[in-house]
Amino acid sequence: MAQVLVVDDQEMMRDSLAATLSRAGHKVAACDDGFEALERVRGRLYDVIITDLKMPKMDGLTFLEELKKTAPEVPVLMMTAYASINTAVEAMRKGAFDYIQKPFEADEITLLVERTLEHRQLVKENEAYQANARDWRRGRQLIGNSEVMKRVMEKVNRVAQSGATVLVRGESGTGKELIARAIHAQSQRCNKPMLCVNCAALSSTLLESELFGHEKGAFTGAEQMRKGRFELAEGGTLLLDEISEMDLKLQAKLLRVLQEREFERVGSSITRQVDVRVITTTNRNLEEMVGEGKFREDLFYRLNVVPIFLPPLRERLDEDLECLCEYFLRRCADRDGRGVRILSKSALEELYKYTWPGNVRELENLMERISILGTTEVITSEAIQNALELGQMRLGANIESIEEQEMSLAEIERQHIEKMLARYDGHRQKTAQSLGIGVRTLGMKIKQWKMEGSFSQ
């Protein structure tokens, strides 16, 4: 739903547009002159403004000029019954997004508004990803002094300059999405959008529409044509997060896009060409899934052109823990405008004892918690213990109780998560919050360990 403002001195036209766009699912406000419209814009952010060209108090071109001084980012559609090439050129020159001649059909203005909204969304995403790319070019780097992380960084630098498909693997919280963004930011596609789709968060039908788009009426609820992520990411990069959760039917369609660089929207027979680099991530063993018939072998080889594996934090603590802590503490200090907190030797020793089931993401959350709640410049071991206990993330008691059983870290993690789920009566959001991980990650672990029956909230 978009916020639309209609500006026209003709009451019948205002009411007709408001009714048409409301039926299309938008929230519409209307006023009869440019002065009132400017006042409304000062107090509210609109997604699209539709204005008449000929109005008695302030004409459309003057309104457009004044609007661009205060809200230059809002797209404006100009409508007029006095169409001429000169007025069209003048409106576009002064910043109008598009131009429509009266009289027009309801479908014409509805489609024009949808196209304008899609363009605005793409511009916003473009700006966000270009800002991210500028951050990387100004020196933001992946953090780590260990040999394994140095090799990861070298591989990122090399693969970024190619157009190869990349598969980033590693446990949850190791930084797989960060790797994907680093590849895009250092590539020749950095000035084009990078979009992300979480394959585990959507049903198969919704995921297909999200990736490839759909035509109006393609399925129940498809009230308007919608472009998919492949179209919106044209020339850029598409990150498919948790690719292992995509069902086999959709995997076949993805394989075709990778091989042929073409696809059809849902409900359409028109084949469309696309130029998009695909990066995928997973925390699952895809080779095992191929063997079990849960993942297509041909798609696996197509995705695994350049594999990048991110090791868990527990395997590189000695070399990377301290520099990661310093980085996160410095970033929190810069963000909050306060002095950088320093870890004492005993605090570091406390951190080295911990097993970090949530990996780097968990460490980042802990450093942020300490930075916000800490009262002294030097962080003590007691502060670390309190911060861990506050987040209900400490595994010490579990490890002591089961160390004689020689259980794996994965089993320790499973038992701890079961304990936390029981503590919160199966409430996933509260459990994930206490563990310092995302609800999506928790859901994946529940599914992996077949705990759905016990904890289904």
Q: Which amino acid is at 379?
A: I
43 pLDDT band (50/70/90 cuts)?
confident
Contact 47, 3 (CB under 8 A): yes
Least confident piece of the model among 288-297, 336-345, 348-357: 336-345
Question: What CATH number was assigned to the domain covering residues 319-394?
Answer: 1.10.8.60
Res. 17: pLDDT tops 80: yes
Domain with CATH 3.40.50.300 in the chain: 141-310
pLDDT score at 394: 42
Q: Where in the chain is the domain with CATH 1.10.8.60?
A: 319-394
Residue 273 backbone dihedrals phi, psi, to 5 degrees:
-90, 150
- What are 361-416's pLDDT values in tens digits? 999 999 999 888 877 889 999 889 888 877 544 444 444 443 444 455 567 777 77
Sorting pLDDT into bands at 50, 70 and 90, what band is 433? low
CATH of domain 3-118: 3.40.50.2300
Q: Where in the chain is the domain with CATH 3.40.50.2300?
A: 3-118
Among the listed residues 47, 11, 5, 58, the one whose alpha carbon sits nearest the alpha carbon of residue 29: 5
Give the containing element (helix H, strand E) for 80.
Answer: strand 76-80
Identify the architecture of domain 405-448 in CATH. Answer: Orthogonal Bundle (1.10)
pLDDT at 291 over 90: yes
Measured N-to-C along each axis, helices 106-137 and 176-185 cross at an angle, to the nearest 10 degrees, of 90
Tell me the C-alpha to C-alpha distance, in Å, between residue 413 and each of 200, 357, 394. Answer: 21, 7, 11
- Average pLDDT in the 442-449 region? 76
Residue 257's pLDDT is 96
pLDDT in tens, 300-336: 999 999 999 999 999 999 999 999 999 999 988 888 8
Per CATH, which fold does 141-310 belong to?
A: Rossmann fold (3.40.50)
The listed range with the strongest mean pLDDT (48-57, 100-109, 163-172) is 163-172
State the span(s) of the chain assigned CATH 1.10.10. Answer: 405-448
Query: What pLDDT shows up at residue 2?
Result: 87
**Model confidence over 205-252: pLDDT tens digits?**
889 999 999 998 888 777 778 899 999 999 999 999 999 999 999 999
